[in-house]
Structure 1
Amino acid sequence: MSIDQNSHSKSFADIILPVPIGKYFTYRVPLSLENDIQPGCRVLVPFGKRRVITGLVVHLHGSPPKKYEAKSIIDLLDELPIAEPIQFRFFEWMADYYLCSIGEVMQAAIPSGLKLSSESQIQLHPEFNIDNHDKPISENEQIVLENLSVDKTLTYTEVSDLLGKKSIHPIIKSLIQREAIIIFEQVKEKYKPKKEKRIRLKSPFDSNTDELEDLMNSLDSKEKQQAVLLRYLQKVPVLHDSNANENGILKSEITKDEELSNSSLQTLIKNDVFEEYEVIISRFDLSDKEVDDEQKLSLEQQTAFDQILKEFEDKQTVLLHGVTGSGKTAIYSELMKLALSSDRQVLFMVPEIALTTQIVQRLKKIFGNKLGVYHSRFSDNERVEVWQGVKNKAYDIIVGVRSSIFLPFDNLGLIIVDEEHDSSYKQHDPAPRYQGRDMAHILGRFHNAKVLLGSATPSTESYHHAKLGKYGLVSLMNRFGESQMPDIELVDLRDAKKKKKMKGDFSLKLLEKIEETLATGDQVIIFQNRRGYAPYLQCETCGHIPKCEHCDISLTYHQYKKEMRCHYCGYNEPLPLECDACGSRKLKTVSYGTEKLEEDLQLFLPEARVGRMDLETTRRKNSYETIINDFDSGQINILVGTQMVTKGLDFDKVGLVGVLDADRMMYFPDLRSYERTFQLLLQVSGRTGRREKMGKVMIQTSIPEHQILHWVQSHDYEKFYFSEIKERHSFLYPPFSRLINITIKNPDKLNAIQTSEAIAFALKKKYGRKGILGPQEPPVSKIRNQYLMQLIVKIDRKTTNLGKIKSDIDQTIATTLQDKNFKRSRVVIDVDPY
């Protein structure tokens, strides 16, 4: 009896593939897989002529595609789904809103350890006979063929290692032309569970005392083997408890002992005394933690907590505006307990990894192993284990950075976005270019979960929504306990330079205060939002500044590595001995970065223990944790850093914060420059005086009369907000409009300009000149050998046809790029770019 596959409900599957194409792909489901395949499972599918990639099953149905012949799924990779149906709805929403493909969302969402990789391999052609070949074979070809006859297959990497050559393509090409080899793709699972080797006694020695005694006697002449057995019996009391043998011991507990012989252990395994086996273990510490949830909220915290619950009664989102050091984390943990008591999951979002160390340590004391962590410094395997932990309900709470919104939650009850104002929540490249805080709202909507935003300096948009009543608003305006807000002093650099009261880049006033603070046993944080030794080098003779070969930007000098580096593309070159333009050896550093400040402080204050926290010092996985712990324990007493040190870190003994270059931040060409300056200065000020003693902040500036600095000085968020919102309203900027940034990239500058003008002309024809800004060159107009042009589309927030406008923009760009003159141009669309 034949089966009509087209009418069968599981004959075809709609699948998301991690490619930048905005649709699902339909594949035929083999009969052998129909009983096992489910939505949310990973499958292996052919794509293109030779590619094999991992896809996610979204729908199963009986309808074949109308415009192409469906290929068959190669294999099913999961017995149970790894993704939730609600995630697919979320992926679709994100792709639609951010004008990208659902494949790009999947590529960002799924840990790379869950995506299979294929690696080219070679094997002997079954009809090839070396004796019947006329053409002479080279020595390298002979080595490859001989190894293939023994090992059957070799990867490209193995061939390269075998021959000791980096470039093996000419050899491979020659062997293909001879029809000596066949190339194929070997697909490999990336994720590998962590395993540990253990040993235990085999039957009958594990439960029979007489047999064990006989064994001991038989080893009298074999002292080394007997020593191994005795050590095992010391560790595992099988004579008193036969069940103790079940788990055995780690093999390393025997082999690490220099007095015990590894070969003797292997002999005992070979003679069936011991058995060696492997067990899969977690990459995370799952040992039982002492849980301590005896934390009491102060009267003000309790009032804020009650107000949040009241606001949640009729609002999905609440903004908690709490000054630095007001104890927001304690309120967060009480809300988490409430969510867990209702059997709901919790997502606690933080902007950067730097924040996770302290927060995780605190929350672990309260929630133990119910809490998992998810961030980009984890290895592929670690991220897969957290993903699976969420799916398998091993974790009820996740502390994570922006990418944690993609985890497979199925019962999310509460999302907390800490430091919600932070720009790190925005993903810039690659697509989807999403805003993590905004996506928390959407995720909350899908799960019917409550969303709490927390900040001492809320984003203008969030505070505006709260003022309008769209969000609930709860304020916490006093620091916890006896702590007071720090005293903020502005140091006039114009006056200090005029009176020659400077030492390097430090005013004498700031240096004296640093010495005074260290003398009392307190610590110091120095904030400079620029890494490296100096922003650039300049020739004193001709004024030439070394630039990146690939970008329109000066190279930053890094003294530690003695190199010039581009912070946009990573290009680097050795420190020049003379000017490229005129040959002069008079090269000087201009301005300063964190590396130079660290060096100067060690020179000025030789007794101080200076540390640095920036991108250069935190590249390694646990480097954040090491620096934070060293500062917390007092091994470092001056910490120099970029905006990483402004994040919500909590240290008991910080008596002074010094800010060296506030002016440059204010005049950066950006819509949010004032807002970000205000936020950064107030946030870094909040790192001091968090206990009984009042802290001190000193801000070096050449414009002490600037209003922003005075609002920082008086901790006056309200005045800053009303000034900023007035300005935004005048120019119809967010939150009164939505912005879409369109960047045109092309290796030819003229072509980039022409493409941008063609897109701008088409859009202005549809929507008028008022809503389309540009085209114009961005501040950095060339990156990685691509010339850039920008357009900004401004859309009134009140518009009801946002979807139609976005669709028109997408279609206009696609139509323009079909013109043969513009085919080399690439267009990047960034919705809500700032």
Structure 2
Amino acid sequence: MSQLELNSELDENFEERITWFADVILPIPLPGTYTYRIPRELEEYIQLGSRVVVQFGKKKILTGIVKLVHQNVPQVYEAKYVLDSLDHAPVVNSYQLDFFAWLSQYYMCTIGEVLNAALPSGLKLTSESLIQLNPETAIGDAEAYSEKELVVLEALKSSDRLSFDQVSDLLGVKMIHAVLKSLLQKESILLFEQVKDKFKPKTVKTVQLADQFIADESAMQMLFELLEKKPKQQAILLKYLSLIRIDEIKSGERTLLKTELLTEDLSVSSYKTLVKNGVFVENEKIISRLEEITKVWQASHPLSAEQEEAMGLIHKSFEQNKPVLLHGVTGSGKTEIYIDLIQQALENGGQVLYLLPEIALTTQIVSRLHKVFGGALGVYHSKYSDNERVEVWNGVNNSKINLVAGVRSSVFLPFSNLSLIIIDEEHESSYKQYEPAPRYHARDAAIWLSHLHQAHVLMGTATPSIDSYQNALDGKYELVELSQRFGTGQLPAFELANILTSRKSKRMKGDFTPELLEGIKQTLIDKEQVILFQNRRGYSPYLICHDCNHVPKCQSCDVSLTYHMGNNVLICHYCGHKESVPAICDACGSTAIRTVGFGTEKLEEDLKLLFPEAHIQRMDQDTTRSKYSYQHIIDRFERGETDILVGTQMLSKGLDFDKVSLVGIFDYDRIVHFPDFRSHERAFQLITQVSGRAGRKDDKGKVILQTGEPDEPLLYKIKTGDYKSFFQTEILERQNFQYPPFYRLIKIILKHKEKNILQQATQQYAKRLIGELGRQRVLGPQEPVISRIRNLYIEEIYIKVEKKKISISKVKELIYKLGLEVKQHKDYKMLRLYFDVDPV
């Protein structure tokens, strides 16, 4: 039924009564909510936080979330009716709606964009195109139709509707649009959309003996006699009876899983015959995809004296409702403190969110948490299927799951009694969402979420972010420190290997200095393990023609293509474009094409040649695409089946391995000299974190860092682990040059397919911003390092606002208003405009 027909029918039956309306959040990048009239038959189901199906515009069918139910008639437009309600109980609670509104306001995006990011895909509806016979059109002469069209029409006579897939199967071809287009033109069929729920519960087949054989012993006896000459069927019946106890049969509990009954030695066809003849009844049973929840928790390890002292300070800060920054050196036992706090929170009936920056880290942490909390733990990240994430969402919503470990999107889960948030590795830039909106930072969002729930927050790291440490010194957070490794563990020794002198003396082997090669060799002799860190995946950053210096570049982005030797392909790491490796130079026809630089894939290849007896594995985005790939790589390394693990920065994020005695670090100079005011901070954090993987328990461990600048001052602070000295130097730089944490930053990103139009619009926007805010607060416009992605040119403007003299909310309103005014110009309609608040 169309929306118009529905409106008409409801209006005809309308009686004198209260009319209810619902303000609905729709997952689209448009501001505000949209008001719909609630049909009488749906009134009892539609409530705050429930999903509804509505029509938006002339054709779109969308799933939205009810934000408010009221009796205020819209004055600007006539409200359409809600088409359907999907839930008997809300899937989103009031805490979340308040949280979504804050995210929208703070990060300068629409609440619809927040909703789109928050809801797991399995809770969003999809629409499926269907066809049906047009009841108002008589099908005339058969000769007017093609053979394929007649097949479709005949099928529709016996079925009231067909999907596109069904039509494709019916005709035995994939391309069906020409057939459907012809039938539509002849007005023989109607095309419509059916909305369906993506989430499908997991089911298993169950088997039970039919009632008549339980109620009547003579019927059972007759059944055995009938099956005497059918030994295969009789074997199945005997197997069933052997698995079901007599008291279960009499009490009516006689259901078995089909997989329990049908073992390899039994005939499937004989079983099907028994079902067909009514001996067995087959049903489907809904089961959870998650481990069965248990509250039989194991005790964690006893804490050391230093850890106990830290716990006391944490509890004292929690009593004052202050977030806590736990600054503990790598290997100091921060996780044991987390586990104790989690156990206390759960025993007091609260919910706990344990945030982790990377899926790779969840693998090992989740394993530790499972040992303590069993199935009481829910895991939430993108490698889980849509259906698994919906089950975790529902488990949190109905309070069956009270402990969640997950990545940044876990902040969106429907907690109703959140009492503790742990943010592990709080300094990590992975907590920042870059694309699409909302461009939120999970650490900052989690702190605001804690205010909504009156929950405690603990942030842990060996290398605090400059912002968080300054907040602790200012008294906004409480600082608690762990300065010693747990037990007998010692911090690793540092050695700097000079690349320049090794190259001049021709002692380099590929990209390895003699110091690193000797270190790897000795580690393998000692039956220990090696981690090698290179923060660049692929085989080589790019190819170059040695005759004309031509570099193959992406057609859609302003970047060189990265060479991946495993697939012998060039890949753009920004848009995913792939092309084959050229045999000759596209520019000059030369065959002198060489690789430049190196990534993790090349290191892996070189190591196999240098250490042929060693077991080598690589961990980067290319090797961890499948659901359990992280787990398999880490498990193999923990079991000692891998001698050398090569990887990107995912190796740096809190992984603990007992037998790692050497860490090798490549490309330090590129990391520290990246054009960004945070480059030194990132270098300190990254090198300190990856170095912390070396040496556990009684072994001190060793780090060999390859560099062309061994006398660089930052390296001394990294070597000695002197965070406070590093912080004092860095914070003075930030203050002198007016950067966070003393100033707030808002990045404005503008994109357009025409470079000249983009430049005109950006200049006009910047001029207006400068007129309102002053030149000192507006930086740019300027091109970013990568100035074109997916055929869109990019320019950026930075707004720098002091924290104490100006209202940041008013600045945001001004920026947003001026941006809309620029977009209203007829030449700039296709301009894309984004805001990134607190860019990282």
Partner deviation per Cα, 1:59-109 (whole Å, 9 max, x = no partner): 111111110000001111111111111111110011001110111111111
The answer for the alignment partner of 2:259 in structure 1 is 252
Is residue 42–residue 77 contact of structure 1 (8 Å, CA) maintained in 2? yes
From 122, 126, 133, the counterpart of 1:117 = 126
What residue number does 2:832 align with? 826
Secondary structure of 1:491's aligned partner = strand
Task: Tell me if 1:233 matches 2:241.
Answer: yes
1:379-410 Cα deviation digits (max 9, x unpaired): 11011000000011111111011000000001
Matched, 1:342 2:348: yes
Match of 1:158 in 2: 166
Aligned counterpart, 1:682: 688
Q: State whether residues 209 and 254 of structure 2, in contact with CA within 8 Å, keep that contact through their aligned partners in structure 1.
A: no
Structure 2 partner of 1:303: 309
CA change 1:204–1:288 in 2 (3 A) is farther
Aligned: 1:394 with 2:394: no
Q: 1:808 to 1:167 in 2, by over 3 A?
A: farther
Taking a change above 3 Å as real, the CA distance of residues 139 and 205 of structure 1, as seen in their structure-2 partners, is closer
Cα distance in structure 1, aligned partners of 2:21 and 2:15:
8
Describe the superposition over 1:308-364 as per-residue Cα deviations: whole angstroms up to 9, x where unpaired: 111222242010000110000000011112212221110000001111111111111
Post-superposition Cα deviations, 1:562-602, rounded to whole Å, max 9, x if no partner, equal 10000000001001101000000110000000000001101
Instruction: Note the alpha carbon deviations across 1:593-627, whole angstroms, 9 max, x for none.
Output: 00000011011100000000000000111111111
Find the residue that maps to 2:285 and give its secondary structure.
Answer: strand
**Aligned-pair Cα RMSD in Å:** 1.9
Partner of 1:547: 553
Separation of aligned partners in 2, 1:408 and 1:213: 55
For normalisation by structure 2, the TM-score amounts to 0.96
Question: CA–CA distance in 1 between the matches of 2:433 and 2:331?
Answer: 28
Q: CA deviation at 1:163?
A: 4.6
Q: Over residues 436-458 of structure 1, what are the superposed CA-to-partner deviations in whole Å (9 max), with x where a residue is unaligned?
A: 00001100000001111000001
Name the residue aligned to 2:385: 379
| Aligned residue in 2 for 1:101 | 110
SS of match in other structure, 2:211 = coil
C-alpha distance in structure 2 between counterparts of 1:115 and 1:243, whole Å: 44
Partner of residue 5, structure 2? none
CA contact (8 A) 2:533 2:664 kept: yes
Shift of 1:174: 2.1
What is the match of residue 188 of structure 2?
180
Give secondary structure in 2 for the equivalent of 1:755: helix
Distance 1:569 1:163, change over 3 A: farther
Summarize the alignment of residues 36-435 of structure 1 with structure 2, pairs less than 5 Å apart. Answer: 36-132=45-141, 136-163=144-171, 166-206=174-214, 212-236=220-244, 238-239=245-246, 241-242=248-249, 246=253, 248-257=255-264, 259-286=265-292, 291-435=297-441
Cα distance in 1 between the residues matched to 2:19 and 2:746? 41
The CA deviation string for residues 653-678 of structure 1, in whole angstroms up to 9 with x for no partner, is: 00100001111111111221111111
2:787–2:793 Cα contact (<8 Å) kept: yes
Equivalent pairs: percent with the same residue? 51
User: 2:590 aligns to what?
Assistant: 584
Cα-to-partner distance string for 1:267-312 (whole Å, 9 max, x where unaligned): 2223332211111111122276974214200111111111111122
What's the offset of the Cα at 1:129?
A: 4.3
Secondary structure at the aligned position of 1:690 is classed as: coil
1:216, CA displacement in angstroms?
Answer: 2.5
C-alpha distance 290-627 of structure 1, shift in aligned 2 (>3 A) = farther
Distance 1:11 1:355, change over 3 A: same
How many angstroms apart in 2 are the aligned matches of 1:170 and 1:4?
A: 42
Secondary structure of the residue aligned to 1:246 is coil
2:97 alignment partner, SS class = helix
Equivalent position SS for 1:64: coil
Q: After superposition, where does 1:490-501 map in structure 2 within 5 Å?
A: 490-501=496-507
**Equivalent residue pairs, number:** 830
Aligned to 2:756: 750
What residue ranges of structure 2 are gaps of 5+ in the alignment? 1-10
Please tell me whether residue 22 in structure 1 is matched to residue 31 in structure 2: yes
- How far apart are 1:37 and its partner, in Å? 2.0
Q: Contact 1:290/1:365 (CA < 8 Å) preserved in 2?
A: no
Cα deviation for residue 115 of structure 1 reads: 1.1
Give CA deviations for 1:168-211 in whole Å, capped at 9, x if unaligned: 43332222111121100011111000000011222254477665
- Please give the secondary structure, in 1, of the residue aligned with 2:820: helix
Counterpart AA for 1:178: K
> Can you list the C-alpha shifts for 1:105-125, whole angstroms capped at 9, x where unaligned?
111111111111111111222
Q: 1:526 aligns with which of 519, 526, 532?
A: 532
Q: Residues 380 and 117 of structure 1: is their aligned pair in 2 closer, same or farther, counting only changes over 3 Å?
A: same
Task: Tell me the secondary structure at the aligned position of residue 793 of structure 1.
Answer: strand
Alignment of 1:491-640 (within 5 A): 491-640=497-646
Distance 1:512 1:322, change over 3 A: same
Task: State the Cα deviation string for residues 498-521 of structure 1 (Å, max 9, x = none).
Answer: 111111111122111101101111
* Distance 1:139-1:248 versus aligned 2 partners, 3 A rule: same
The 1:12/1:516 distance shift into structure 2, 3 A limit, reads same
Structure 1 equivalent of residue 6 of structure 2:
none
For 1:93 and 1:445, the matched residues in 2 are separated by 12
Check the 8 A contact 1:91/1:102 in 2, yes or no: yes
3-state secondary structure, aligned to 2:775: coil
1:254 CA displacement = 3.4
Any unmatched runs of 5+ in structure 1? none
Amino acid at match of 1:808: L
Aligned-partner Cα distance in 2 for 1:233–1:799 = 81
